[in-house]
Structure 1
């Protein structure tokens, strides 16, 4: 169904969700209310749900509440995808204040770009509780999904990723990304754990399917960042999370560049990988087979790839 489903994943978001929803209420949407907001309660123990309902009260657009007990951002997003009724999705973090034309621009971009699988924008400002932003922040702002993702609007597929903040994805592509037979290797934020890489894994899978990644500077949002996250200690934790995801994302990159960008045969790459990298070298190499197997998956031979997984990749 043509429209936008905005998915907000929450873990103890009571202090943030009000401002996020107030910005969503101000959206300038030309269509006939063909959008919805889906709030995922990912084991919240605070007043997140009541705070959201209070802010959204009497708004004509539906606010749908979904409970997801499996901890982790990836699982919350999957729950949102399942609950969505519209063709296009926007993952709005609980601290993203979307510009008033955000969802209309996403809708128009998807309607006019058939090969676009995912679209990202820019954060124009880092908002804090009226306090001074650290002097080091400007040099590190991209780690916080703040700033521009590219020099200009256009195709950024070669970059292989977009920020998860404000990320827009076609629903049928997201459903394929989150196929239960192919669980994610990087599960994203879980509770207070500072992890990373799940946004990139989603984008990598989209590129493996043959779709493009677009950046459009008209998609703007403000990013609310509390003081507790603007410390050098928190920055180090984030960078450690990025580093831990590097190995997995490098394997995706190898697969994408060999098969998608260089258009080599999926079967040939798989055969070479099996011959060159025996199975007895540990978990990391098992991930190699996982990802090359995923390349076969995008070729839609589900019978073959499920048998491949069952034979080689059970833990």
Structure 2
């Protein structure tokens, strides 16, 4: 006599088998997507963590690595892991030639064979129950279009003094030990690292071509994750924080240099006109633009008066000033960028 548990295990095993043979045809419970650019030296650690996920044996899941036009050995690393991959969950490889995390995430959504897609960066390490916690939370909150992780930093070198003031800009997220929902009126959006999305919510809400497409080798303009989440939130889906989805963000010393932090803050600031106005009705945008600019000017003046010479000699204070200044000029930067893009398209 075959027990009910053995019957379920056989069915799950068959689904795993068919998902390996026909990954695009079989509906699974969960897809883990890892967009990466030149992540050959980092991917192995992330994939090793995924092989130690607990409480996930009854789930049908897959891992998709999206190579965002890498120039290193990323493809070779994935091929090596595929040859020795011990999990029943298939490890798949996708290639996206258009540079930018926004394009890579779109590729992952297209490839995913499940209704839930969890995004991991190639420098974020999931805890051993990350997958199970994400899936269970999604089942309890079917209106959650996006579920954000609890992300702590693992630093190669000590961060600068007062780093906690800008920690959120490096995707570090600590909002307590209880789940909470992001309220649209509060204008706060979680980072994309470790977020789980309803695939259908993304397909219905996020346009194929985002205005912000993410950092590239020639640009630090960011905000594509915020833009994607805002589209989903505007469509009526809930955005949640799940403290049981734990990640460690590996932050090398190169990410903590004054120049790197300044570039990051500048890129975030320059994208803010788009992310601010996306949740504002068209007719309200002119007066809201003036209010935002007035508030940015206020922040700059208050910051300079409060910190004085620290805005020159203190790395964090200098980064905050860069963020406020870039936010102020963001409308003009985005207008110039839009004109340049239209000219490029007309000349092609």
Q: Does 2:117 match 1:89?
A: yes
Deviation at 1:122, TM superposition (A): 1.4
Indicate which of 208, 211, 221 corresponds to 2:234: 208
Partner of 1:63: 91
Q: Aligned in 2, Cα 1:149/1:198: closer, same or farther, shift over 3 Å?
A: farther
Tell whether the 8 Å contact from 2:177 to 2:243 is kept in structure 1 after alignment.
Answer: no
Deviation at 1:230, TM superposition (A): 1.1
TM-score norm. by structure 2 comes to: 0.70
C-alpha RMSD of matched pairs (Å): 2.7
Tell whether the 8 Å contact from 2:30 to 2:59 is kept in structure 1 after alignment.
Answer: no
Q: Does 2:272 match 1:246?
A: yes
Deviation at 1:274, TM superposition (A): 11
Partner of 1:161: 189
Look up the SS of the partner of 1:13 in the other structure: coil
Indicate which of 222, 237, 245 corresponds to 2:248: 222
Instruction: Map residues 137-286 of structure 1 onto 2, 5 A cutoff.
Output: 137-149=163-175, 152-158=178-184, 159-180=187-208, 183-191=209-217, 193-255=219-281, 272=283
Structure 2 CA distance for aligned equivalents of residues 152 and 165 of structure 1: 19
Structure 2: gaps of 5 or more residues: 1-26, 288-329, 336-344
Structure 2 CA distance for aligned equivalents of residues 244 and 187 of structure 1: 13
Question: Could you give the per-residue CA deviations for residues 244-292 of structure 1, whole angstroms, max 9, x where no partner exists?
Answer: 111111111323xxxxxxxxxxxxxx6x56999xxxxxx969x99xxxx
Deviation at 1:192, TM superposition (A): 5.4
Partner of 1:36: 62
Tell whether the 8 Å contact from 1:38 to 1:64 is kept in structure 2 after alignment.
Answer: yes
Question: Could you give the per-residue CA deviations for residues 149-177 of structure 1, whole angstroms, max 9, x where no partner exists?
Answer: 46742111334411111011001111123
Q: Does 2:44 match 1:18?
A: yes
Q: Aligned in 2, Cα 1:205/1:112: closer, same or farther, shift over 3 Å?
A: same
Question: Could you give the per-residue CA deviations for residues 26-50 of structure 1, whole angstroms, max 9, x where no partner exists?
Answer: 1114343511111111111111122
Instruction: Map residues 285-304 of structure 1 onto 2, 5 A cutoff.
Output: none
Structure 1 CA distance for aligned equivalents of residues 118 and 286 of structure 2: 41
Structure 2 CA distance for aligned equivalents of residues 164 and 17 of structure 1: 17
Deviation at 1:189, TM superposition (A): 1.8
Look up the SS of the partner of 1:253 in the other structure: coil
Structure 1 CA distance for aligned equivalents of residues 110 and 228 of structure 2: 16
How many corresponding residue pairs? Answer: 265
Q: Which moved more, 1:191-200 or 1:234-243?
A: 191-200
TM-score norm. by structure 1 comes to: 0.76
Tell whether the 8 Å contact from 1:161 to 1:199 is kept in structure 2 after alignment.
Answer: no
Deviation at 1:217, TM superposition (A): 0.9
Higher-Rg member (1/2): 2
Q: Aligned in 2, Cα 1:2/1:18: closer, same or farther, shift over 3 Å?
A: closer
